[in-house]
Structure 1
Amino acid sequence: MSTPVEPDVAALARRWRIELDLGASGTPDWKVCPGVTAFDPEAEPNIEDSSDYDSDGWAGNTKTGQSWALNITINRRINDQAKTYNAVHEAIRLASFAYGSASRVHVRYMDRDGLPEAYEGRALVTWKPSGGEYTALDQVEVTLTGDGPLLPIDNPVAETTP
């Protein structure tokens, strides 16, 4: 008797969920960033040549640093009755115009289906409205450039996902 094989399926790009900490008193208040239409994470190592005579001609390399960024596109969300933008979108936009600690956002992103991949860090914000034709949606290209480490975390939605 053979062991049944578990099915393998392709993961979808839309599996990512991004949250921003809107807490003001040091206690995290995580809110979902809605309207994400594109998500492109980067975590590039800095590799330096560490070759020496002792390696019989084989090149040596050493990781000496790391940087990270999130490039996302969002559809702006509004409350047309109250004439306000989504609070997460506004926090990102306002951070892009600020200096010092106000120019950083505390962000985390995770697999929305509860798989173990999840990360958290602090980032500087670049906010670039896309513009467009009269039929276009109001989209913004956002770059979150890491300021410090991007830490793997336990996926906070893992326990709530069936």
Structure 2
Amino acid sequence: MSTPTDVTALARRWRLEINMGTVDVPDWQLCPAIVEFQPEFEPNFEDSGTYDDEGWDDSDKTGMGWKITAKFNRKKSADSTIYHPVHEKLRTTALLGWGADSKIPVRWMDRDGMPEAYQGNALVKWAPEGGEKNDLDQVEVELTGSGKLLEIDNPLAA
């Protein structure tokens, strides 16, 4: 039996999927061509210290937030007539979505089937990188959690 310190996990282990269907009939599709992926989990701590603590700080966790920042190479069809549908869903949600239409169901998981896997709804920021004449068309997307983040069974687990 191998020990858990044999091999170092790689940053590229993450897989991001977007629900292209509905809540009732989900259609989870890969967000392709990711070159950077950064999940963040941000707790909110509030000072709960009192005189009874004899000068020692005390805090309580009162909330939790999450966010994903991902950068990807923008993909288009071979005949240059359409962009990848998942990339377009992110773009149109970010630029044209208001109210409930501004949130998108996302999930991300370890592509090797390890236990880490999460799902939630997110607001989308879309930021094309621009660049010089020989640069790739890259976009940075920020997915800010809206509501509860669920830990799910990894759909890629064996």
Aligned counterpart for 2:43 among listed residues 36, 42, 45: 45
CA RMSD of aligned residues (A): 1.4
Partner deviation per Cα, 1:116-161 (whole Å, 9 max, x = no partner): 00110000000010000110111001000110011111111002xx
Match of 1:115 in 2: 114
Deviation at 1:5, TM superposition (A): 5.4
State the distance in 2 between where 1:145 and 1:82 align: 31
- Bigger Rg, which one: 1
Partner deviation per Cα, 1:99-130 (whole Å, 9 max, x = no partner): 11111110000000000001100000000100
Identity %: 51
2:77 paired with 1:96 = no
SS of the residue corresponding to residue 157 of structure 2 reads: coil
What are structure 2's unaligned runs of at least 5 residues?
A: none
**Which has the higher mean CA deviation after the structures are superposed, 56-65 or 31-40?**
56-65
Aligned counterpart for 2:74 among listed residues 73, 76, 79: 76
State the distance in 1 between where 2:82 and 2:141 align: 19
Match of 1:59 in 2: 57
Q: Work out the number of aligned pairs and report it.
A: 156
TM-score (norm 1): 0.91
TM-score (norm 2): 0.93
State the distance in 2 between where 1:25 and 1:67 align: 22
2:128 paired with 1:129 = yes
Match of 2:31 in 1: 33
The 4+ residue runs of structure 1 with deviation greater than 6 A are none
Counterpart of 1:60, as a letter, is: D
Match of 2:150 in 1: 151
2:15 paired with 1:20 = no
